[in-house]
Amino acid sequence: MQEGRPQEPFRLPLVAAAAHELKAPLALVRQLSLALETGDYTDTERAVLQQRITLTAERALRLTTDLTRAERLDDGLFEIEPLNPIVLCEEVADELSPLYAAHNRTIDVKPHRRQLLGLANRELLRRILLNFTDNALHYSRDAPVYISAQQRQRGTVIRLGVRDYGPAVPANVWRRLMQNLGRPQPLHNRPASSGLGIVVAHEFAAAMGASIGAVRHRDGATFYVDIMTSTQLRLL
């Protein structure tokens, strides 16, 4: 029992954050299910409600899957492979487009003039982007969300970012967030967020030698992950 104590300061906030993060989608599923049972809807309206139930349940499942994977990161080795980050960004945008459409929102990938090739574990990088884009949907204003990929540090690093247009984060809260990316950090002007998605993204990035961060804007934030540029190949 003594050996487990050092992890408790991290695990207890993580459990509380998970409960907080799961509360919203589960409450929405319950609300929509009750509406289907008691409401008088057309077939089209019922189909829309059923789609929202499915998409919301899928979001909750993604969260529980990510938490399970984060717990097991120390037990596995993750293959690092060359990949096209723009293609991965487009795949994530396509995957989440139905969820965004259900909320009358859009998600798009900013074009990049040059072909890029990065080094990362494809699945972990995908999960990081899914966390960022899910966060941008649920905790930002009604505006498009953009995913981008660009070279940094003289081409040695590729930064994949998700730009949201949520409430501006106060400077003191932002500093605390940047200093504790590996721990749940509630953002008081985004009360629905426990910061759990950022913690999971941090763990996934560390497991493959990448890093995450964020840029503060007056009208939101850009959360990003930096991966190394591949020097083995050049895409045509």
Task: Give the tens place of pLDDT for each residue, 98-107.
Answer: 888 878 889 9
Q: Which of these three, 47, 73, 99, is where a domain ends?
A: 73
CATH of residue 132's domain is 3.30.565.10
Do 9 and 109 fall within a single domain?
A: no
Mean pLDDT in the chain? 76
pLDDT at position 27 is: 74
Q: Which domain holds residue 51?
A: 2-73
Do 18 and 103 fall within a single domain?
A: no
DSSP for residue 101: H
Q: Which of these three, 73, 88, 118, is where a domain ends?
A: 73
pLDDT 10s digits, 110-124: 987 777 899 999 988
Q: Which of the residue ranges 19-33, 65-79, 136-150, 212-226 has the most confident prediction, judged by mean pLDDT?
A: 212-226
Do 26 and 125 fall within a single domain?
A: no
Residue 236 lies in a domain: no
Which pLDDT band holds residue 222 (cuts at 50, 70, 90)? very high
pLDDT at position 69 is: 64
pLDDT 10s digits, 30-82: 877 888 888 778 888 888 778 778 877 777 777 777 666 666 665 556 788 99
Given 3-state DSSP classes, what are the helix, strand and coil percentages for the chain, each rounded to the nearest 5?
Answer: 55, 20, 30
Do 159 and 187 fall within a single domain?
A: yes
pLDDT at position 109 is: 94
> How distant is the alpha carbon of residue 202 from its chain centre?
10
Residue 190 has pLDDT above 60, yes or no: no
What is the rounded distance in angstroms from the CA atom of residue 131 to the CA atom of residue 235? 28
* CA 10-193-54 angle, 5° bins: 110
pLDDT at position 83 is: 94
Q: Which residue has the higher pLDDT, 11 or 62?
A: 62
Residue 235 lies in a domain: no
Do 37 and 127 fall within a single domain?
A: no
pLDDT at position 36 is: 82
Do 53 and 104 fall within a single domain?
A: no
Structural domain tally of the chain? 2
Do 85 and 195 fall within a single domain?
A: yes
* Among candidate residues 157, 209, 204, 159, the one with its CA nearest the CA of residue 182: 204
What is the rounded distance in angstroms from the CA atom of residue 197 to the CA atom of residue 202? 9
Residue 186 lies in a domain: yes
Residue 197 has pLDDT above 60, yes or no: yes
Q: Which of these three, 14, 42, 73, is where a domain ends?
A: 73
HSE-up of residue 37 (Cα within 13 Å, Cβ side)? 6
Do 46 and 124 fall within a single domain?
A: no
pLDDT 10s digits, 152-173: 888 889 999 999 887 776 777 6
CATH of residue 15's domain is 1.10.287
Do 101 and 211 fall within a single domain?
A: yes
Residue 184 lies in a domain: yes
Residue 182 lies in a domain: yes
Do 93 and 67 fall within a single domain?
A: no
Residue 23 has pLDDT above 70, yes or no: no
